[in-house]
């Protein structure tokens, strides 16, 4: 298929409720969307970079720059057959994986549409029903957090994850466990701790957590192995895993027993599939992480979660938890059992609400071949 043009656009979407991690609070998303216009089909991708370079070095603006100056010009006007080929033909610039993923994933979407099959089948997925979990940010008070958890448990979500940091951890987990002794519970520190906290982190063991996600530095694997050795609770790495070689290193060093896979963080479907294969071979369970995506990124996450190794509930939950109105139709919904049914429709499985996208757009640029 020939890519005739590529549209970059930024949309603004206010969150229904703010989302706070150990690195800051988000109230409104600035989301970069990529559309590849091929003969007769439009493939869509979402860049998962944040508004500020806090989770990783990328931001909405750095991704815009890299896509406009380097990535889109390398593909506009070119012949390309598949998402996998897009990964191999990506310009040799370092890092900027979220920018690359937005473009590569748009090509995967276009490929699925041209082949007239669901995207999840193109990537080799098999799951038909996905287990959904939620990630709940740091709140203004313990009471506010407990009431949010009550809402999500009542909605049926199969795993609750809470954000933690020094000063918002042991007392919070204590209260959660007192109220819900049996739920599948985990926490995510987004690198808020150091090795000075080993004794402190050992106290987490009594809460029977499924995992502690990314307690230490975002660029560290080896020291997570030292920490894992000191804890009974499973560690899970998020920020530290940028590609399949990192996944292999983390598994061989026993730096974690669970892996979080994010399409943007690893640079797109091609590398995410490789990470999944490394984990599967080592029998390390993986799950799909979230980056407060709009429905477009969310539908890509659902496709990825159909791969067989995604055996734990992910951070992919209902559109309505984030948005007053999502940009896809239908929106993503979750059953009372906390599951998401996989769509059998061609492509990503959710139509694009172009009128709403147009209304939310604050800048747009078309790169032609």
Q: Is 315 in the site for Mg ion (CB under 5 A)?
A: no
- Closest among 52, 95, 39, 43 to 71, alpha carbons compared: 95
Number of residues that bind Mg ion (CB under 5 A): 3
Q: Is 169 in the site for Mg ion (CB under 5 A)?
A: no
Backbone angles phi, psi at 180, to 5 degrees: -130, 80
Cβ-based nearer residue to ligand OSB, 138 or 201: 138
Cα–Cα distances (Å) from 18 to 27, 108, 137, 344, in that order, read: 5, 31, 8, 33
The answer to whether 280 and 305 have CB atoms below 8 angstroms apart is no
Q: How far is the CB of 181 from Mg ion (least distance, A)?
A: 25
Q: How far is the CB of 153 from ligand OSB (least distance, A)?
A: 16
Q: Is 188 in the site for Mg ion (CB under 5 A)?
A: yes
Backbone angle region of 166, left / alpha / beta, with phi > 0 → left and psi within -120 to 50 → alpha: beta
Q: How far is the CB of 332 from ligand OSB (least distance, A)?
A: 11
Q: From Mg ion, ligand OSB, none, which one binds at residue 55 (CB under 5 to 8 Å depending on kind)?
A: ligand OSB
- Closest among 102, 36, 30, 29 to 61, alpha carbons compared: 30
The CA-CA-CA angle for residues 263, 101, 335, to 5°, reads: 40
Q: Is 10 in the site for Mg ion (CB under 5 A)?
A: no
Note the residue count of the chain: 369
Q: How far is the CB of 292 from ligand OSB (least distance, A)?
A: 5
Residues lying near ligand OSB in the complex (CB under 6 A) are found at: 21, 55, 135, 188, 190, 238, 289-292, 315
Q: How far is the CB of 317 from ligand OSB (least distance, A)?
A: 6
- Please identify which of the residues 148, 161, 163, 165 carries the catalytic annotation: 163
For residue 99, give every residue at least 6 positions away whose Cβ sits within 8 Å of its Cβ, in sequence order, or none: 47, 49, 58, 62, 63, 66, 67, 71
What part of residues 333-352 is at the interface with Mg ion (CB under 5 A)?
A: none
Cβ-based nearer residue to Mg ion, 288 or 367: 288
Is 262 catalytic? The answer is yes
The CA-CA-CA angle for residues 176, 235, 138, to 5°, reads: 40
- Please identify which of the residues 115, 262, 324, 364 carries the catalytic annotation: 262
Q: From ligand OSB, Mg ion, none, which one binds at residue 20 (CB under 5 to 8 Å depending on kind)?
A: none
Cβ-based nearer residue to Mg ion, 23 or 70: 23
Q: How far is the CB of 369 from ligand OSB (least distance, A)?
A: 34
Q: From Mg ion, ligand OSB, none, which one binds at residue 103 (CB under 5 to 8 Å depending on kind)?
A: none
Q: Is 238 in the site for Mg ion (CB under 5 A)?
A: yes
CA dist 261 and 237 (Å) reads 9
Cβ-based nearer residue to ligand OSB, 111 or 326: 326
The answer to whether 157 and 130 have CB atoms below 8 angstroms apart is no
Q: Is 220 in the site for Mg ion (CB under 5 A)?
A: no
Region of 90-98, 160-168, 238-246, 331-339 interacting with Mg ion (CB under 5 A): 238-246
Q: Facing residues of 259 across strands?
A: 237, 286
Is 165 catalytic? The answer is no
Cβ-based nearer residue to ligand OSB, 13 or 291: 291
For residue 151, give every residue at least 6 positions away whose Cβ sits within 8 Å of its Cβ, in sequence order, or none: none
CA dist 287 and 271 (Å) reads 15
Q: Which residues bind Mg ion (CB under 5 A)?
A: 188, 213, 238
**Catalytic residue positions, numbered:** 163, 262
């Amino acid at each position: 298929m020939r890519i005739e043009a590529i549209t970059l656009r930024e949309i603004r979407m206010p969150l229904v409720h703010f989302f706070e991690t150990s690195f800051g609070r988000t109230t409104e998303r600035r989301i970069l969307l990529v559309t590849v216009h091929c003969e007769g089909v439009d493939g869509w991708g979402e860049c998962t970079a944040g508004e500020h370079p806090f989770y990783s070095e990328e931001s909405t603006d750095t991704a815009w720059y890299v896509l406009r100056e380097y990535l889109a010009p390398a593909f506009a006007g070119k012949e390309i057959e598949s998402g996998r080929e897009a990964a191999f033909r990506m310009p040799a610039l370092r890092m900027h994986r979220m920018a690359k993923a937005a473009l590569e994933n748009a090509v995967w979407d276009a490929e699925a549409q041209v082949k007239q099959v669901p995207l999840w089948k193109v990537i080799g997925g098999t799951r038909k029903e996905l287990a959904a979990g939620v990630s709940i940010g740091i709140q203004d008070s313990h009471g506010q957090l407990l009431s949010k958890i009550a809402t999500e448990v009542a909605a049926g979500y199969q795993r609750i994850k809470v954000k933690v940091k020094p000063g918002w951890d042991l007392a919070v987990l204590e209260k959660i466990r007192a109220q819900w002794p049996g739920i599948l519970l985990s926490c995510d520190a987004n690198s808020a701790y150091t090795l000075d906290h080993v004794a402190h982190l050992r106290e987490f063991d009594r809460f029977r957590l499924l995992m502690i996600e990314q307690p230490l530095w975002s660029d560290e694997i080896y020291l997570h192995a030292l920490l894992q050795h000191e804890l009974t609770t499973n560690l899970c790495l998020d920020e530290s895993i940028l590609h399949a070689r990192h996944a292999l290193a983390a598994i061989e060093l026993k730096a974690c027993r669970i892996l979080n896979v994010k399409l943007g963080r690893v640079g797109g479907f091609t590398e995410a599939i490789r990470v999944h294969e490394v984990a599967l071979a080592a029998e390390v369970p993986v799950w799909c992480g979230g980056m407060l995506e709009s429905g477009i990124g969310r539908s890509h996450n659902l496709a990825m979660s159909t791969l067989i190794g995604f055996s734990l509930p992910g951070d992919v939950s209902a559109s309505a938890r984030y948005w007053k109105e999502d940009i896809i139709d239908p929106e993503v919904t979750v059953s009372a059992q906390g599951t998401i049914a996989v769509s059998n429709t061609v492509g990503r499985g959710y139509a694009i609400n172009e009128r709403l996208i147009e209304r939310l757009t604050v800048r747009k640029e078309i790169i032609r071949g």
